[in-house]
Structure 1
Amino acid sequence: MMNPNKQQRRNLYFFFVFVFYVFILCARFQTSEATKDSSAQVKLQNRRLSSTVVFPVSGNVYPLGYYYVLLNIGNPPKLFDLDIDTGSDLTWVQCDAPCNGCTKPRAKQYKPNHNTLPCSHILCSGLDLPQDRPCADPEDQCDYEIGYSDHASSIGALVTDEVPLKLANGSIMNLRLTFGCGYDQQNPGPHPPPPTAGILGLGRGKVGLSTQLKSLGITKNVIVHCLSHTGKGFLSIGDELVPSSGVTWTSLATNSPSKNYMAGPAELLFNDKTTGVKGINVVFDSGSSYTYFNAEAYQAILDLIRKDLNGKPLTDTKDDKSLPVCWKGKKPLKSLDEVKKYFKTITLRFGNQKNGQLFQVPPESYLIITEKGRVCLGILNGTEIGLEGYNIIGDISFQGIMVIYDNEKQRIGWISSDCDKLPNVNHDYGGDLSEEAYPIGFGLIKELFSGSDSSKNKNLVSDGEL
């Protein structure tokens, strides 16, 4: 029989051993959980830093003339419809400061609240736009004046405010972003001003939305848009929607005098045959509704199309003033499917002849069926409207393809895509949007053309203080 004292010591020993093992197991479990949590945080952080912002897109080339997204700004947030524009950097909204030339009622204008950016800020100096006056006092507000190639303009001040953005991974981030508060809009052209609240600037400069998100560590500096023929599409900032294969890539021109997306030189082909027009530099501009060629390229394409239509049941007509070159059939046309077989594909070949990158524009991406039932050419003569030697690929030729502006690798790409489908994102965006049609504008800033300088227009507005 065991001694009771000895038995107690033995029980006490086993108790301490048990406690020790429990302690070790708990420590290991906590370490494992801590490691797991830390790993999860790292993965979440990495996912956030490489995530993508996705916007549903609405609009059309004709008769609306633009594609737009909805963006919430402020706290509490207010919804603004903005024309997507890869041809300019600055995002701006109509601003109740008060506002001259605004199309939105005051209730739908942006209201500043002592949140202007000082003119000493790096984003102010990075505008690369003509300024009304130099920065006399570093604490003065940062004024901007931007003119577009269709003679429209906006004057205002840079502000910062909260912009809630939903990422593709499901998280919502309240970011402070910089944009323009436009208190004087001018639209001296023959057409009425656009009904949108402003412009979503996606150009390559420091103040561009994609560049700002990159500098905040939110996304990669990659822009993707996909515009459909049926008035839908999507826009994304970040690289998660870029296909891993099948994309045709060409380099961005590094010697471009602007922050636009220019590629080239390219050769112009019609029906896979050379037109003899070479050395074309092309700007990819989602702010332009139509495609514009210089005089030589435009005339070559127009002559070939007219020659190709000989003997076909289409005749020239001048009774539609919205587009300069149109044809009519025996009866009013309802769809491009009725006539696209009479037209050929136009191609821009970048690079060399054997291994060039082909940007193909089928008939449905350069033709318009108007309300009068005419088929019209959606490629226009840019020289006639002051674009000089510039060539622009606009929304009409982007339909049905995904266009990728890769600022990380200084290249631009494209691939055929179903742009009617929004990629894996909830898009419950409400809002009362005007569907009033307005004619065509250009996203390219005016300073590119004819040596024009929007700062020469001093009569637009007196100095404003927000």
Structure 2
Amino acid sequence: MAAGWPPAISLLLLLALLLPVTASSMVLPLFGNVYPVGHFYVAVGIGEPVKPYFLHIDTGSNLTWVECHADGGSCNKCNTVPHPLYRATQNKRVPCADARCASLHQDVGKPKNCGAAPQTCNYEIQFLEGSSSRGMLVHDKFSILPKSNAHAADIAFGCGYEQVEASGRNEKVQVDGVLGLGRGSIDLVSQLKQLKVIAKNTIGHCLSYKGGGFLIIGKDMSTFPLKKWAPMAPGQPRYYSPGRATLHLDARSIGGADPVEVILDSGSTYTYLPNALHKQLVPVLQATLRKSLQVVKDPSLPGELCWKRPEKFRSVDDLKKEFKPVMSFNFGNEVTMAIPPENYLVVTKQGNACFGIFAHNAKYIILGDITMQGLLVIYDNDRKQLGWVRADCNKPPKSISAITSRI
């Protein structure tokens, strides 16, 4: 494990200090990609003296947490992460009687579990894609700008000492934990607003097809040039949902006229459809493809649908040449999300094109990172509305006018 910042990222982190930051909002660079990293993440500092951590941005999680050593000992079940595991001292534990402990358990929908130690606020959280984390709630100085105590705030977050991956095995990962950006009261943005570090309970992210992008926290997003906003679904207190939508492939309806609830989740690398909807979509898509494309197995995404052509796929531009159908989610009131091929396919190391929309057993749709690439997605918690707009995600906008596309 690295003791500090990897050399390839050090210069970028220095540039992060130069990004537009005011007393009420901030813009942070993102690192990572859909494939092969599988995460988009920010670099932050925690503790005094500050130590570096990479956190996966996750709008589907209310809790920010890092993998850590439990009770001063070793981690019970941790992944291999980029930096030394966080260690929480006794005075950093959030007591079970603390209001933040009650907020955490209200957010995760479970009663408080204080365990054997009366001063420990324990938790267990389940993520949408099947993984889980157990740990205790702690608090420490959290520097949203890396390698500096500037703009640091004392934030409650999770010390996760037992991770269970969806694959059933612990893995080598490129992040140390999760930056919780969900709708709950314990998420990072809510805490920063309460501490007056930012003025608005808003988030915006832009994920680049080339990897990286940027994250906006605390800005007044209502003035961005979006012609349509979708209200947040009132019956979904923990996740960001613009409501129910129907799925289309070009002009053809998939799944009929019955709409399905959609969740925007930057913590999911790929997009997931209910089994029945996915089963209807695949043959319709297959029927549109050229005969030169052959279905193959790819070790990068075992069990998923992949295609090869006589010459290897090398880039997003190659995808556009071979795959033409555009998917779309129609939310009603003329609010739609168009999904071109580069938002539902990945190019693997083997030079194949693999379908990045998977089936799952749930009754809702999860829109993950692959589908949100090339979009500035806005989560306006103050006005309870969501919006998205095509944008250049390769560099943060210097002004609102720099983003000129529309829904």
Aligned CA distance change for structure 1 residues 197 and 138 (closer, same or farther; 3 Å) = closer
Offset at 1:158? Answer: 0.8
Asked if 2 retains the 8 angstrom alpha-carbon contact of 1:382 and 1:390, the reply is no
Q: Using the alignment, how far apart are the partners of 1:368 and 1:106 within structure 2? A: 25
Distance change in 2, residues 1:280/1:332 (3 Å):
same
Question: What residue identity is the alignment partner of 1:91?
Answer: T
Shift of 1:186: 2.6
- 1:54, 1:236 within 8 Å by CA — same for their partners in 2? yes
User: Is residue 2:96 matched to residue 1:119?
Assistant: yes
Structure 2 residue 356 is matched with structure 1 residue 412: no
Instruction: Classify 1:339/1:137 alpha carbon distance in 2 versus 1 (closer, same or farther; 3 Å).
Output: closer
Shift of 1:296: 2.8
**1:160 aligns to 2:139 (yes or no):** yes
2:125 maps to what in 1?
146
Indicate conservation of the 8 Å contact 2:137/2:157, yes or no.
Answer: yes
**Are the aligned partners of 1:268 and 1:274 in contact in 2 as well (CA < 8 Å)?**
yes
**Structure 1 position 172 matched with structure 2 position 146:** no
Instruction: Determine which of 53, 78, 99 is the counterpart of 1:102.
Output: 78
Q: Could you tell me which residue of structure 1 aligns to residue 253 of structure 2?
A: 274
Q: CA deviation at 1:390?
A: 1.7
RMSD: 2.7
Q: What is the rounded CA distance, in whole Å, between the counterparts of 1:279 and 1:185 in structure 2?
A: 35
Question: What SS does the corresponding residue of 1:248 show, helix, strand or coil?
Answer: coil
Contact 1:103–1:195 (CA<8 Å) still a contact in 2? no
What count of residue pairs does the alignment treat as equivalent?
A: 367
> For 2:346, what is the secondary structure of its paired residue?
strand
Q: Deviations over 1:112-167 (max 9, x none)?
A: 12211111112111123366864589962211111224443222111111123359
Q: Is the 8 A contact 1:94 1:110 kept in 2?
A: yes
- Residue 395 (structure 1) aligned with residue 395 (structure 2): no
1:205 aligns with 2:184: yes
Bigger proportion of residues as helix: 1
When residues 424 and 109 of structure 1 are mapped into structure 2, their CA distance, relative to the original with a 3 A threshold, is farther
Question: 8 Å contact 1:323–1:376 — kept in the other structure?
Answer: no
Alpha-carbon offset, residue 237 of structure 1: 1.2
Q: Does the CA contact (< 8 Å) of 1:292 and 1:392 recur in 2?
A: yes
Aligned partners of 1:84, 1:124: CA distance in 2, in Å? 22
Paired-residue identity, %: 37
- Where is the strand percentage greater, Structure 1 or Structure 2? 2
The residue matched to 2:151 in structure 1 has which SS? strand
- 1:357 partner letter: V
Structure 2 segments unaligned to the other structure (5+ residues): 1-20, 400-407
The separation in 2 between residues aligned to 1:400 and 1:237, in whole angstroms, is 18
Task: State the one-letter code of the partner of 1:269.
Answer: H
Which of 317, 327, 336 is the equivalent residue of 2:316? 336
In the TM superposition, what is the alpha-carbon distance from 1:406 to its structure 2 partner? Answer: 0.9
Going from structure 1 to structure 2, the CA distance change for 1:363 and 1:214 (only over 3 Å counts) comes to same
Residue in 2 that maps onto 1:345? 326
Q: Which amino acid aligns with 1:347?
A: S
Report the equivalent of 2:356. 378
Relative distance call for 1:106 and 1:235 in structure 2 (3 A) is closer
Taking the aligned partners of 1:288 and 1:110, their CA distance within structure 2 comes to 24
Match of 1:73 among 42, 46, 56: 46
Which has the larger displacement, 296-305 or 367-376? Answer: 296-305
**Any conservation in 1 of the 2:202–2:220 contact (CA below 8 Å)?**
no
Deviation at 1:242, TM superposition (A): 6.0
Task: Kindly indicate whether residue 36 of structure 2 is the aligned counterpart of residue 63 of structure 1.
Answer: yes
Secondary structure of the residue that 2:229 maps to in structure 1?
strand
Contact 1:130 1:145 in 2 (8 A): no
1:391-412 Cα shifts (integer Å, max 9, x gaps)? 1000001111100111111111
TM-superposed CA distance for 1:187, in Å, is 2.7
Letter in 2 for 1:115: K
Mean Cα displacement is larger for which, 101-110 or 230-239?
Answer: 101-110
In 2 relative to 1, CA 106–289 (structure 1 residues): closer, same or farther, beyond 3 Å? closer
Partner of 2:234: 254
Deviates more, 1:280-289 or 1:173-182: 173-182
Q: Residue 400 of structure 1 contacts residue 417 of structure 1 at CA under 8 Å; is this kept in 2? A: yes
Paired residue type of 1:301: L
- SS class of match (1:301): helix
